[in-house]
């Protein structure tokens, strides 16, 4: 197991190097794009460009950029999984706030120009749009919906399923077709837009959007670097504490690699048995204190009696709340696992259902 940690870390680093997409490459690309943007700004004569037409051009151009971004996303999600191995991995609920800012910027790139166009038309009381523009406004409205999801939704996933058979084929096709439609519509609208330096302006918008997209990739890359750093820390901990293979496996499963479904069920069974045993112990201690208080003369020692009684009631409240939280959290975990992958073996499915029944009965 010790050698496995080292090999795993080396494999992750080699995979990253093999793709050629390192942080240094991405930063270099951003620097090149920034110089190109500065060059274009110097070439374009903004004084001769009407603000309204410029806003429309930015809207169409960013729609193309976002559509191309989603086409790439649909390409990535279109690959089907062929592995029969089911893995449950603890979700990292806390994401860096910077990633949310970047994703918000991706959606705002189309929303802001569209709002400005609507506002300009409102001021001039001239809402004259063709069918294609109505379609583009509608799809931009969906971007606003996605923006609210990014900003205000709270991730509650406790586990994520890896190598599940449910593929994203239908969703990726829908995303691809809608994105392709947006590209065609936007290009057509751009071709009918009368504005000087059109090519350079479109290129400028595409380059600005590409910086946002590359920034997202850099953030994702840093997350992978953190994973490699964590593995290095685990490797150091192994040699420092001389951990056994079972302990190493437990650390990997809980924090990094995840569980096979069957292993996760066994892990939960052991965890529940241990917790039930602890509850029995705590319950016995509370009952013992209740018996002891019966020997206290309530009239002769009222302060002591009331003080001990209050302490016992507080212990009972803490105990019941802890039990309730534990049972509810575990029921939610198991229910979530059942939802993650409909292809779980019937044997494992029944075991998970039995765990829910056991937890529900004890909760009551």
Q: Are 137 and 110 in contact (CB under 8 A)?
A: no
Own/partner pairs, 321-327, CB within 8 angstroms, 24+ separation: 323/279, 323/362, 323/363, 324/363, 326/275, 327/359, 327/360, 327/362, 327/363
Higher pLDDT, 187 or 231: 187
CA-derived radius of gyration, the chain: 29
Buried b (16+ CB within 10 A) or exposed e, 21-46: beeeeeeebeeebeeebeebeeebee
Distances (CA, A) of 150 to 140, 155, 215: 15, 10, 17
Q: What is the largest CA-CA distance in the chain?
A: 98
Q: Are 66 and 109 in contact (CB under 8 A)?
A: yes
DSSP string, 342-360: TT--HHHHHHHHHHHHHHH
Reduced to 3 states, what is the DSSP secondary structure of residue 288? helix
Residue 133's CB is within 10 A of a number of other CB atoms, namely: 17
- φ/ψ region of 223 (left if φ > 0, alpha if ψ in -120 to 50, else beta) reads alpha
Q: Give the integer Cα–Cα distance in Å for 199 and 191.
A: 10
Q: What is the pTM of this model?
A: 0.66
Instruction: Give me the pLDDT at residue 124, please.
Output: 85
Listed range (52-61, 148-157, 196-205, 320-329) with the worst mean pLDDT: 148-157
For helices 131-152 and 51-77, the axis angle rounded to 10 degrees is 60
- Sequence spans of domains, the chain: 50-195, 258-363
Listed range (159-168, 253-262, 313-322) with the worst mean pLDDT: 159-168
Instruction: Describe the strand order of the beta sheet including 259-260 as a list of residue ranges.
Output: 159-162, 87-90, 259-260
Q: What is the mean pLDDT of residues 223-246?
A: 75
Structure confidence by residue, pLDDT tens digits, 102-127: 888 888 999 999 999 999 888 888 87
Residue 56's CB is within 10 A of a number of other CB atoms, namely: 21
Structure confidence by residue, pLDDT tens digits, 131-155: 998 999 998 888 888 777 767 665 5
12, exposed or middle or buried, with CB in 10 Å at 0-12, 13-18, 19+?
middle
Distances (CA, A) of 130 to 12, 134, 178, 344: 51, 6, 19, 50
CA nearest to 108, candidates 139, 147, 154: 147
Higher pLDDT, 11 or 220: 220
Residue 167 has pLDDT above 70, yes or no: no
Distances (CA, A) of 342 to 90, 234, 242: 19, 33, 40
Give strand pairing partners of 160.
89
CA nearest to 160, candidates 250, 264, 7, 74: 264
Please report the beta strands in the chain, taking only residues with DSSP state E, as ranges in sequence order.
Answer: 87-90, 159-162, 259-260
Instruction: Give me the pLDDT at residue 84, please.
Output: 47
Instruction: Give me the pLDDT at residue 4, please.
Output: 64
Query: Average pLDDT of the chain?
Result: 80
Instruction: Give me the pLDDT at residue 265, please.
Output: 81
Structure confidence by residue, pLDDT tens digits, 61-113: 999 999 999 998 888 777 655 444 455 555 554 556 677 788 888 889 999 99
Instruction: Give me the pLDDT at residue 115, please.
Output: 93
Q: Are 292 and 270 in contact (CB under 8 A)?
A: no
Listed range (35-39, 318-322, 350-354) with the worst mean pLDDT: 350-354
Distances (CA, A) of 66 to 35, 73, 211, 212: 22, 10, 12, 11
Q: What is the mean pLDDT of residues 236-244?
A: 76
Instruction: Give me the pLDDT at residue 33, please.
Output: 95
Q: Map tokens 């279109």 to a residue.
A: 78
> What percent of the chain stands above pLDDT 70?
81
Q: Map tokens 């051009």 to a residue.
A: 57
Structure confidence by residue, pLDDT tens digits, 17-57: 666 677 788 899 999 999 999 999 999 988 888 899 999 99
Chain centroid offset of residue 102 CA: 14
């Amino acid at each position: 197991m010790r050698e496995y940690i080292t090999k795993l870390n080396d494999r992750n680093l080699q995979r990253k190097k093999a793709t050629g997409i390192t942080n240094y490459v991405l930063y270099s690309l951003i620097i090149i794009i920034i110089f190109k943007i500065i060059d274009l700004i110097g070439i374009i004569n903004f004084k001769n460009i009407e603000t309204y037409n410029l806003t429309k051009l930015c809207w169409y151009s960013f729609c193309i950029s976002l559509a191309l971004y989603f086409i790439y996303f649909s390409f990535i999600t279109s690959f089907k999984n062929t592995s029969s191995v089911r893995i449950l991995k603890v979700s990292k609920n806390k994401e860096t706030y910077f990633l949310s800012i970047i994703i918000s910027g991706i959606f705002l790139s189309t929303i802001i120009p569209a709002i400005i166009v609507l506002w300009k038309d409102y001021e001039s009381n001239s809402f004259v749009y063709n069918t294609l523009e109505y379609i583009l406004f509608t799809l931009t409205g969906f971007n606003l919906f996605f923006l609210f999801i990014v900003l205000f939704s709270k991730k509650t996933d406790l586990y994520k399923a890896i190598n599940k058979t449910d593929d994203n084929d239908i969703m990726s096709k829908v995303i691809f077709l809608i994105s392709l439609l947006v590209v065609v519509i936007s290009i057509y609208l751009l071709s009918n837009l009368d504005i000087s330096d059109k090519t350079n302006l479109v290129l400028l918008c595409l380059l600005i959007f590409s910086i946002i997209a590359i920034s997202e990739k850099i953030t994702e890359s840093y997350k992978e670097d953190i994973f490699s750093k964590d593995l290095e820390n685990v490797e150091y901990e192994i040699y420092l504490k001389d951990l056994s293979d079972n302990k190493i496996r437990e650390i990997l499963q809980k924090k990094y690699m995840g569980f096979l479904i069957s292993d996760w069920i066994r892990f939960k069974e052991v965890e529940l048995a241990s917790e039930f045993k602890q509850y029995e112990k705590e319950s016995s201690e509370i009952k013992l204190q209740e018996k002891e208080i019966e020997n206290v003369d309530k009239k002769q020692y009222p302060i002591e009696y009331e003080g001990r009684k209050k302490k016992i009631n507080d212990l009972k409240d803490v105990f019941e709340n802890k039990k309730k939280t534990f049972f509810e959290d575990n029921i939610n975990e198991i229910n979530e696992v059942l939802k993650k992958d409909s292809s779980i073996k019937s044997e494992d499915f029944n075991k998970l259902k039995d765990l829910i029944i056991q937890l529900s009965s004890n909760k009551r």
